[in-house]
């Protein structure tokens, strides 16, 4: 299970940091993705962080504005997005891959957080 | 970046009928294709991975097929709970990319 932090309202130019806390499984074994969805729009992949938190890959359009980190001591993953604009208003999801038996498909997203609404408005 | 397209944008179907949704990739993704169902106010739900394998507890009326660049999701007999938006997603390469979605609504 992935439980995300609550809704945020930010002003343009500010930063937001969303958390995603894992429970019920071995947190350190899994990659975590972030996906966002603007109102009435489709799904947009933002990036991924590896199990140890030592490696990340971000969507090119967000490079330089997004940072993903993880705290293994608290089983929590963080996504920080800076220089916010109205175009960043969206629901932000963390998600992890699908595992069946001993096989895992890290990029087929099975377990999702409940979503965090981020509203950017002056 | 691999571009995913879906057709139709909206599909109107009567309960009990079959629904066929299409997804196309701009280059081959092999079988690295997933399908998701999303209802309003909810996170997406994984239906299909590996183009044709049903995820755990997904009903058998959902089936996926295809490989390379052309994929299909079939819902054999639509139930009331199946009216939703469906997205395909490739995971052959990062960045992961999603199609724009097909909305299945009641005819």
Name every chain A residue with its beta carbon within 8 A of the beta carbon of B95.
45, 57, 59-60
**DSSP code, position B44:** -
Percent of chain A with pLDDT over 90: 76
- Cβ–Cβ of B50/A105 closer than 8 Å? yes
Confidence of residue A100 (pLDDT cuts 50, 70, 90): confident
Query: CA of A89 to nearest chain B CA: how many angstroms apart?
Result: 15
SS3 content of chain A, % helix, strand, coil (to 5): 5, 55, 40
Q: Find, in chain A, the residue whose alpha carbon is nearest to that of B97.
A: A45
* Chain B interface includes A105 (CB < 8 A): yes
| Per-residue pLDDT tens over the stretch B17-63 | 999 999 999 999 999 999 999 999 999 999 999 999 999 999 999 99
Percent of chain B with pLDDT over 70: 100
B15: left (phi over 0), alpha (psi -120 to 50) or beta: beta
Mean pLDDT of A55-64: 96
Q: Find, in chain B, the residue whose alpha carbon is nearest to that of A93.
A: B43
Q: Find, in chain A, the residue whose alpha carbon is nearest to that of B58.
A: A110
Query: CA of B78 to nearest chain A CA: how many angstroms apart?
Result: 22
Burial class (CB in 10 A: 0-12, 13-18, 19+), A32: buried
CB-nearest to B98 from A42, A98, A112 is A42
| Per-residue pLDDT tens over the stretch A107-119 | 999 999 999 999 9
**Best CA proximity match to B34, nearest among B20, B50, B56, B23:** B50
CB-nearest to A108 from B1, B34, B101 is B34
Token readout for A103 is 């096989």
CB-nearest to B44 from A60, A98, A112 is A112
| Per-residue pLDDT tens over the stretch A2-53 | 999 999 999 999 999 999 998 876 666 789 999 999 999 999 999 999 988 8
Q: What does the pLDDT read at residue A25?
A: 65
């Amino acid at each position: 299970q992935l439980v995300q932090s609550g809704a945020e309202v930010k002003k343009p130019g500010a930063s937001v940091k969303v958390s995603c806390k894992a429970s019920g499984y071995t947190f350190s074994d899994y990659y975590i993705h972030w996906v966002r969805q603007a109102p009435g729009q489709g799904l947009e992949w933002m990036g991924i962080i590896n199990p140890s938190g030592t490696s990340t890959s971000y969507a090119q359009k967000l490079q330089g504005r997004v940072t993903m980190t993880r705290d293994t001591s608290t089983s929590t993953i963080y996504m920080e997005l800076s220089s916010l604009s109205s175009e960043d208003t969206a629901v932000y999801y963390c998600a992890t891959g699908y595992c069946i038996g001993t096989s895992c498909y890290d990029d087929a997203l099975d377990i999702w957080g409940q979503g965090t609404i981020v509203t950017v408005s002056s | 970046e691999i571009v995913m397209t879906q057709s139709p944008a909206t599909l109107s179907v009567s309960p009990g009928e079959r629904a066929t949704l299409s997804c196309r990739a701009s280059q081959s993704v092999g079988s690295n294709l997933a399908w998701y169902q999303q209802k309003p106010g909810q996170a997406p739900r994984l239906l299909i991975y590996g183009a044709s394998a049903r995820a755990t507890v997904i009903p058998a009326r959902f089936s996926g097929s295809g490989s390379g660049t052309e994929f299909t999701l079939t819902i054999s007999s639509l139930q009331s709970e199946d009216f939703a938006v469906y997205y395909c997603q490739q995971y052959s390469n990062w960045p992961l990319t999603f199609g724009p979605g097909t909305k299945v609504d009641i005819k």
